[in-house]
Amino acid sequence: MTDILHKTSPSVVAAADHSEGMSYLESLPRRLITLYLPLSVILLVLLFPFYWMALTSIKPDDQLLDMDKVNPFWTTAPTLKHFYTLLFQTNYPLWLWNTMFVAIGATILSIIASVLAAYAIVRLRFRGANWVGGAIFLAYLVPPSILFIPLSTVVFQYGLFDSPFALILTYPTILIPFSTWLLMGYFKTIPYELEECALIDGASRWQIMTRIVLPLAVPGLISAFIFCFTLCWNEFIYALTFLSTTSHKTVPVAIVNEFVDGDIYRWGSLMAGALAGSLPLVILYAFFVEHYVSAMTGAVKE
């Protein structure tokens, strides 16, 4: 240890200390067994279904079902036939559009409502603000699976059944508690002094919120937006219950209900549909990984 210290300059030691920690105590073979081996096994299990999904979607039909002549883990003749079927012989583009429309509509509505609510709870501190914050957290804990039956009657009463607006108006009940809670955390980090200066200069609360707080909370808004978008895209039970016409359905519901027929060759297009339905989210995720992680952990930490 002292030898190492003598050999290297102080600044390098500091940098090395920071990045390596105590890992010099472990030898490489030991790390292989205790770290890299279990890690790669877990990663393999986590990723295999996606590999299998992608592979199935480009396999020709005869190779899908014949596992003896050809090695099933690879394909020799990749084909885009399943994607072609999906795009031109089904309503898939329409379902994608429905999902996108519902997700964006519900997300925008919820972000507007939660920005206002979070700002009021954190900064206006009206009487009972803490109590309201707690109530919103409790709303987060109410799962959709105990709400869908009464909600279906409510949706019917309001005349929204089988319309995308049934989803656009009900999804915010899942999204608002989450994003309010997340944005409350972000708003708390913005210094009071900025707002006080603006108040002295004669700005109204509304101006303070739109001109000062929101520009500073942009990372939080992006986190809330993409997380809400993902939740909407994911949502299944409301979409399954409130929509009945094939052309109104969202991707998850349509794939489960419309593709599952007696055809033994359906697997290729089913997997192609699942893959194409996941891609938009994965691409969004690839661009905003950090925001995504901070959304997930931020809401839990609060």
Q: Exposed (0-12), middle (13-18) or buried (19+): which is 190, by Cβ within 10 Å?
A: middle
Residues 6+ apart with CB under 8 A from 194: 212, 216
Q: Which is nearer to other proteins, 61 or 216 (CB)?
A: 61
At its nearest, how many Å lie between other proteins and the CB of residue 53?
Answer: 4
Nearest C-alpha neighbor of 186 from the set 122, 107, 113: 122
Q: Which is nearer to other proteins, 6 or 18 (CB)?
A: 18
CB atoms within 10 A of CB 64: 19
Q: Which is nearer to other proteins, 73 or 88 (CB)?
A: 73
At its nearest, how many Å lie between other proteins and the CB of residue 92?
Answer: 13
Are 251 and 61 a contacting pair, CB within 8 Å?
no
Q: Which is nearer to other proteins, 30 or 76 (CB)?
A: 30
Q: Which is nearer to other proteins, 132 or 216 (CB)?
A: 132
At its nearest, how many Å lie between other proteins and the CB of residue 56?
Answer: 6
Are 95 and 251 a contacting pair, CB within 8 Å?
yes
- CA angle centred on 200, ends 198 and 205, rounded to 5°: 50
At its nearest, how many Å lie between other proteins and the CB of residue 48?
Answer: 8
Q: Which is nearer to other proteins, 80 or 283 (CB)?
A: 283
Nearest C-alpha neighbor of 91 from the set 206, 255, 227: 255
Q: Exposed (0-12), middle (13-18) or buried (19+): which is 101, by Cβ within 10 Å?
A: middle
Q: Which is nearer to other proteins, 12 or 142 (CB)?
A: 142
- CA angle centred on 144, ends 276 and 294, rounded to 5°: 65
Residue 42 is encoded by which pair of tokens? Answer: 């877990």
At its nearest, how many Å lie between other proteins and the CB of residue 50?
Answer: 7
At its nearest, how many Å lie between other proteins and the CB of residue 271?
Answer: 7
Are 259 and 85 a contacting pair, CB within 8 Å?
no
